Structure 1
Amino acid sequence: MTRYLIVGGGIVGLAVAHRLRLDRPGDQVTVLEKESGWAAHQTGHNSGVIHAGVYYRPGSLKATLCRAGSASMVRFCAEQGLPYATCGKLIVATEPAELPRLHELHQRAVANGLPVTLVDAAEAAAHEPHVAAVAALRVESTGIVDFAAVCRKLADLLADGGAELRLNTRVTGVHATGRQVRVTTDAGELTGDVLVNCAGLHADRVARLAGVDPPVRIVPFRGEYHELVPDRRDLVRGLIYPVPDPQFPFLGVHLTRMIDGSVHAGPNAVLATAREGYSWRRFSPRDVWEQASYPGLWALARRHHRYGWTEVARSLSRRRFAASLARLVPELTGADIVPAGSGVRAQAVRPDGSLVDDFLIVEADRQVHVLNAPSPAATSSFEIARHIVARLPEN
């Protein structure tokens, strides 16, 4: 019997545990989560989109695992009776200058084997009557779901299947001793044979605790959301995204109809002052010092400082936030949106300031560390788990 210790109770950690129970039912699986509930951070604060895999470099882990993961996620939800919808989305060019980028995105989507269609302004309006578009890319396989509900279901299945689930258990030390891994927590010590680090916002720290020198540093970016007031939700039928600007590292604010019928707008992307910094008021001296002393952050700031200041301005001004949305749906104004919480993206940054643009999974002796798993990790979670488990040793 092999004993697996999984650090992190977000959707990737729980999916890894689930895959282990399916593939290696005779082994022992323990999940350690420092919070009092599952999906407390990235998983529970995202936009709930089941991504198709349009944006990612063909052949990359993101491209291959997202496409397969989208189907896996839909299949799991259907089997478990969880609400979801395959509603499709529009990626919208709002001016002629964006058309070359839209066509490049279309070519990438086709290379990734996705069912996509270029549509003109009239066809775009047939899908989204209030959208402003000179052309758009229709992505049929995009969907929506509540990923926190997926995590709750996974936790129930794991508990029923004999896995050990430990909430309120913060990892404080990891020591590899021969063929075993000893994990110290604030709730006691555990010994296992294999460690899987799915700690998200703290993944690089857990790797260092385990004696692994990670090639990246996690830098937290807060994404702030607004939502449309109820009587303006009819302006958006599904999902409306801008054409991403390749000069900038994020997708830009967009409009998403959630599984509960609400319509969220966002997120923006501002550097957070804590790894769990869900507002400007949340400040961690340790986290800020780590960021300020990391050369990669300064290199990133030099490269994208104009974009960064634009995001800060949009964070501080509802008028600016609404103006960004009005590029997609001109009828939207500041009076039509209200704040709707935020999430924090755990973005891996290299020492030269470049963002890791693919999933990053580092293997060590009897250890696996998931060091970069932002979007579309939730969509891809079942396939990330399959990818990881196939590489885990057995006694």
Structure 2
Amino acid sequence: MRDALSKKIVDIEPSGIRKFFDIVSEMPDAISLGVGEPDFDTPYRVREEGIYSLEKGRTFYTSNAGLKELRDEISRYIARKYNLNYSAEDEIMVTVGGSEAIDVALRCMVDPGDEVLIPQPCYVSYVPCAVMADAKPVAIELKAENEFKLTKEELIASITDKTKILILAYPNNPTGAIMTKEELAELVPVIIDNDLYVISDEIYSELTYGSRHCSIASFPGMKERTVVINGFSKAFAMTGWRLGYACAPKNIMTQMIKLHQFAIMCAPTNSQFAAVEAMRNCDDEVGKMVEAYDQRRRFLLNAFKEMGIECFEPYGAFYVFPSIKKFGMTSDEFANRLLFEQKLAVVPGTAFGASGEGFVRISYAYSVEKLKAGLERIENFIKNL
């Protein structure tokens, strides 16, 4: 018999995150500080709207692009929050999480051999999605001394005549890095002069500390060459509702909707009704969650300082990315020993690309009590080294 499997898919490595949490799930008394999932319940009024939509029998398909009421609300929301102006009619699509939007955007925009620039460390899906779209992923290795921000010089050095897309993901998973309006402004002329397109993953846009998020699509000349990806999982604590969205120029969005139409049909209907309520009436709840994350962020940074663990200050998302280089172990070794010796799961930095070596990712989407317990185990671990 012929091999049933695609070599392209077989050759893609599984997520470097999941193996740790498969072990944790079967390890009594283990603590995980690795999953990027809010520990807050979805806001009450959002849950109520989801339940109400089911009780009213709203279980039908929506249009492929998504519920018109939700697309209208997305258009208003991103205008007031990020100064982005996208038409609900033909420039916005509701997706099954932000992850689907990344996959669809890449498959609609690249041909075999096109290069996709991926600054790393980064979310684990970008490289596999580029490969599945038959593009060539090209890593840009970001540096801790630059707080893992993409510099103009690093971008210029990575561009070739085959480069088509730059993936930008700020606030960043796993580092927590952000890029300010001034820092993004330096990239814009390079992008335009080299006729690049941008996929801007802004799923953590609401989770910033001390500064307001800026989208690269808001700069003159960038809307027509940018796909903005966002969603409800992180800001609104709606991970299990599986809902995201993409905003793009009509010529790109038309093709994205076509692919989404054949692969997915539409996002879950009751999730879409609930999301309308989230965007309309949950700014206060989001603000309270951001305050709690900020408290946890500062708590972790102070604890690392007291332990002598170097960690730059992240200003976005809900992750810290401390350096473990001083302990003379690889990220994998450190994470494995911490798991089996102290029953604490963190994610090795290399799960997010080669430039993550020497770091681990710790999520503070957990209660302060759980963070305290985890820090005690880290302290015990490094004392015993």
TM-score normalised by L of structure 2? 0.23
Task: Please state which structure has a larger fraction of its residues in helix.
Answer: 2
Task: Please state which structure has a larger fraction of its residues in strand.
Answer: 1
TM-score normalised by L of structure 1? 0.22
